[in-house]
Structure 1
């Protein structure tokens, strides 16, 4: 099955909500003067901390 015949799958609402929050965080960081790279680094650290339960 190639990409043109695959059915479109709607992402779960929790994934959409997560993506929205991450975008809002990115935009807020950029508005405060962070570069794209810095903002993405901060977001990556937040995600990593949540995955590890705040333990590093």
Structure 2
């Protein structure tokens, strides 16, 4: 499995349950591709959602 969600496109069809667990209750958003995840290690350019909300 790829480390980052943006690289999981090809394997997503067979592993949708696992993907859903990775994005359930997201805490970070990727500044490059816009995906959200519950672990910053899964994103290519992560930013905390909480800190993004404080900036706006």
Note whether the superposition's TM-score is higher than 0.5. Answer: no
The TM-score with structure 1 as length reference comes to 0.28
Structure with the bigger percentage of strand: 2
Greater fraction helix = 1
Bigger relative contact order, structure 1 or 2 (CA pairs below 8 A, ≥6 apart):
2
Give the greater-gyration-radius structure (CA): 1
